[in-house]
Chains A and B, each alone.
Chain A
Amino acid sequence: MAENTPLLKVEHLYKEFPTGSGFLAGKFSKKVVSAVNDISFEIHAGETFGLVGESGCGKSTTGRAIMHLDPPTSGKVYFEGRDVSKMSKKELKDMRREMQFIFQDPYASLNPRMTIGEIISEPMVIHGIGTPEERIERVRELLDVVGLNPEHINRYPHEFSGGQRQRVGIARSFILRPKLIICDEPVSALDVSIQAQVLNLLKDLQKQYGTAYLFIAHDLSVVQHISDRVAVMYLGKMVELSDWKRLYAQPNHPYTQSLLSAVPIPDPDVQKSRKRIILAGDPPSPIDPPTGCRFHTRCPIAQTRCSEETPEFREVENGHFCACHFAQPFPIKETHIDL
């Protein structure tokens, strides 16, 4: 791998789903849900890339498309410089050794009929790595690393709490020492106290193994805790991308600004004196997205141009991208702010 080849490169990724279901779906109606629309980004080895947005904005779909669980409608995904869509079945399987997935729901992502030992060692079995004894040894090691009792190797998932189950999922994703792990909201189903522990565990494991993360979340404080760079998505499009310090200190896109203003601050005085940007209405349907800038229907600074012209995803500063005609640093004009 060349020095500057990114680990993962996503170019103009589109994912559309036909509406309706059954065997006639999509044959008569041309309507599609445009879940992911022209997304491009890169992830470098050992980096954590946060992807945030509200539910339904296409962040999970992006993760699944990269993993080829739902192959993208168009666009390219390069893993270590190789085009994933052109891979043979065998190459795809080899790639899946290097790219793992952590699921959101720790109750649904573990097969209830398998012991956690079988669950964690399954990637090794699938890729034919190690003898049964070596696998057990490795599982015990990893159970210890993720903070579970290695003696529990023969227990079933239902005997564990949500946080413990997510640790099992994490152990499974790490057992092959992959280069990239796609974490699809790995903590959003957990209690806040457990969230912090699991995030710290992910950080520790990253330090230990040098794994890169694509970290998908809807909670900015969670992303802030773990990410090097953060991208914000709205309705299938990326609206802003920057390293997290700059993004948090100087959000350029009005959507990012409103998101950040919604993060609660555990200090009543500060909280009271803050100006919150409250967006009106719900996000529009991705079946029939607004013309021009997709955010213009809810944007506090929208103008006629916004509904006519799709803003370019441009670099406003070095390494800081934003898709807004009127991108400007925080704070935006007082008159548009609703208390």
Chain B
Amino acid sequence: MQYPLDLDTRADECAAAAEAPVNAEDSNPSRTLWGDAFKRLKKNRLAIFAIIWILFVVVVAATADLWVPQVLGAPNASDTATMVMNSRLAPSLQHPFGTDTLGRDVLSRVIYGARISLTVGIVATGISTIIGLVLGAIAAYYGGLWDTIIMRLADIFLAFPYTLFVIAMIAVIGNGIQNVFIAIGILGWPSIARVFRSAILSVKESDYVDAARSMGASDVRIIARHIFPNSVASIVVYATMNIGGAILTESALSFLGLGVIPPDPSWGTLIQEGQKFLQTEPWLMIMPGLAILTTVLAFTLLGDGLRDALDVKMKDA
């Protein structure tokens, strides 16, 4: 019995046609992964707008002490002599966002509010990310009982309405800016842990990790060279978007009077103060509202752009 399926003949026929050269341009030299990602990010216009806006807000907030009090007036100034005269002025060149009831410049207060909002966003996200990474990694690596305990705990945390949970925690530990960091940071870990756990699990089961194991690579090498680089992108993306979420939560807390203690300005307290005058002096509420909207949107768009940029399979689209 014969099986005349001759692969050699097939090979000869197809040798010429197949295995076309990879790309026409052969000139691109060594490129790093993050360099590639940045190149892709640069082509995403929305993400670039987002970066510019975030940088602008950061620079303005960081340098506020140098020029804002001189140009616009101190955010917490309460000069009884001019208070009545300056109360709730409409936006003008001198006060671009108008003034509030106590005659304080709203733009100045929004700028100082940005400091608090950005710090809360970054610090709280930092806390959740660290807790989430550690717990997510433990759950994924050790699996079994650890996985069950950690992930059920995460489920329990996520079963509570988030804002209500934060409010309850603030009620227990007291309000004030540090406690806002802690409450938002600690309660934000479950979703990060979940994202990181699933990222690690999908990488852990992959053939290239098996390949590294079969070559005799150590656990440290497998984690550092194979698992971490392939699972960290999702965390970068998630954390970026999470900053926007943390800013929103802080605003909500301050709006409810549980966050920043007056007279310190925060975007949430500004909206809360302004809402009483919504019909007569709407800028008191709209301006800080716009600040929240644009900044949160910028973090979300940046996260979106990063997700696309960090996906190696997207090539140079």
Question: B-contacting residues of A (Cβ < 8 Å)?
Answer: 22-23, 67, 69, 92-94, 96-97, 100-101, 103-105, 108-115, 122-123, 126-127, 147, 149, 151-152, 154-156, 158-161, 163-164, 169, 172, 191-197, 199-200, 220-222, 224-225, 248-249, 260, 263-267, 330
B9-40 residues with Cβ-Cβ distance < 8 A to A are 10-11, 13-15, 17-23, 26, 29-31, 33
Assembled-state Cα–Cα distance A220/B5 (Å): 10
Assembled-state Cα–Cα distance A187/B70 (Å): 73
Residues of B within 8 Å of A114, CB to CB, are 225
**Given A159-B315, A330-B1, list of 8 further CB < 8 A pairs?**
A23-B145, A69-B213, A93-B216, A96-B215, A110-B211, A158-B313, A163-B18, A265-B5
Assembled-state Cα–Cα distance A264/B30 (Å): 46
Give the contacting residue for B210; candidates A69, A158, A196; CB below 8 A. Answer: A69
Q: Separation in Å of the B223 CB from the closest CB of chain A?
A: 13
B221 at the interface (CB under 8 A from A): yes
Interface size class of B (residues with CB under 8 A): 35 or more
Task: Tell whether, in the assembled complex, residue A147 and residue B26 are in contact, meaning their CB atoms are under 8 Å apart.
Answer: no
Given contact pairs A159-B22, A193-B18, A265-B5, A112 touches B214 in the complex (Cβ within 8 A): no
Task: Tell whether, in the assembled complex, residue A192 and residue B10 are in contact, meaning their CB atoms are under 8 Å apart.
Answer: yes
Task: Report which residue of A93, A112, A151, A263 has the largest number of chain B beta carbons within 10 angstroms of its beta carbon.
Answer: A112
Instruction: Please name 14 pairs of A and B residues whose Cβ atoms are closer than 8 Å in the assembled complex, sorted by A.
Output: A93-B216, A96-B215, A103-B207, A108-B207, A112-B312, A122-B212, A126-B216, A147-B19, A149-B26, A154-B29, A163-B19, A196-B10, A221-B5, A222-B7
B206 at the interface (CB under 8 A from A): yes
Give the contacting residue for A111; candidates B3, B216, B230; CB below 8 A. Answer: B230
Assembled-state Cα–Cα distance A104/B207 (Å): 9
Task: Tell whether, in the assembled complex, residue A113 and residue B33 are in contact, meaning their CB atoms are under 8 Å apart.
Answer: yes
Task: Tell whether, in the assembled complex, residue A67 and residue B214 are in contact, meaning their CB atoms are under 8 Å apart.
Answer: yes
Task: Tell whether, in the assembled complex, residue A263 and residue B3 are in contact, meaning their CB atoms are under 8 Å apart.
Answer: yes
Q: Separation in Å of the B216 CB from the closest CB of chain A?
A: 4
Assembled-state Cα–Cα distance A327/B7 (Å): 31
Q: Which 3 A-B pairs have the closest CB atoms?
A: A193-B14, A196-B11, A96-B216
Task: Tell whether, in the assembled complex, residue A193 and residue B10 are in contact, meaning their CB atoms are under 8 Å apart.
Answer: yes
Task: Tell whether, in the assembled complex, residue A22 and residue B148 are in contact, meaning their CB atoms are under 8 Å apart.
Answer: yes
Residues of A within 8 Å of B31, CB to CB, are 154
Task: Tell whether, in the assembled complex, residue A200 and residue B8 are in contact, meaning their CB atoms are under 8 Å apart.
Answer: yes
Give the contacting residue for A164; candidates B22, B143, B315; CB below 8 A. Answer: B22
Residues of A within 8 Å of B8, CB to CB, are 196, 200
